[in-house]
Structure 1
Amino acid sequence: MKTVVISGSPRKTANTQIMMKFVYDYAKSKSQDIKFINLSEGGIDYFSGQNENYSQTTLQAAKDIMDADVWIIGTPIYNSFFSAALKNLFEFVNYKSTAGKTAGLAILASGNIGFIDVQTLLTQLMNYFRVVTNPKAVFMTVDAIKDGQIGENEKTRLKELVDETMLLASRQK
Structure 2
Amino acid sequence: MKIVGLSGSIVGSKTRTAMNDVAMEIADKYPEVDFRLIDLADFNIQFSDGRNYLDYDGDTAYVTKELMDADAIIIGTPIFQASIPATLKNIFDLLPEKAFQDKVVSIVVTAGSSKHFLIPEQQLKPILSYMKAQVVQSYVFIEEKDFYRREIINDDVSFRIERLVEDTVVLTETYSNIRKAKEEEYGF
| Common fold by TM > 0.5 | yes
Distance in 2, Cα, partners of 1:51 & 1:136: 32
Contact 2:52 2:94 in 1 (8 A): no
State percent identity of aligned pairs.
Answer: 27
Structure 2 residues not aligned, in runs of 5+: 177-188
Contact 1:105 1:119 in 2 (8 A): no
Counterpart mapping for 1:59-70 below 5 A: 59-70=61-72
Q: Evaluate the alpha carbon distance shift between residue 160 and residue 51 of structure 1 in structure 2; reply closer, same or farther with a 3 A threshold.
A: closer
Give the counterpart letter for 2:14 in structure 1.
N
Q: Deviations over 1:134-161 (max 9, x none)?
A: 1111111022110111122211111111
Distance in 2, Cα, partners of 1:97 & 1:39: 18
Distance in 1, Cα, partners of 2:66 & 2:151: 28
| Larger-Rg structure | 2
Give the TM-score, by structure 2 length: 0.84
Q: Evaluate the alpha carbon distance shift between residue 154 and residue 121 of structure 1 in structure 2; reply closer, same or farther with a 3 A threshold.
A: same
Count of aligned pairs: 172
Corresponding residue for residue 160 of structure 1: 163
Counterpart mapping for 1:27-66 below 5 A: 27-29=26-28, 30=30, 31-50=32-51, 54-66=56-68
Distance in 1, Cα, partners of 2:27 & 2:164: 14
Distance in 1, Cα, partners of 2:78 & 2:99: 26
Contact 2:52 2:96 in 1 (8 A): no
Distance in 1, Cα, partners of 2:67 & 2:99: 9
Corresponding residue for residue 135 of structure 1: 137
Corresponding residue for residue 106 of structure 1: 108
- How far apart are 1:51 and its partner, in Å? 6.8
Structure 1 residues not aligned, in runs of 5+: none
Q: Evaluate the alpha carbon distance shift between residue 51 and residue 5 of structure 1 in structure 2; reply closer, same or farther with a 3 A threshold.
A: closer
Partner SS, residue 159 of structure 1: helix
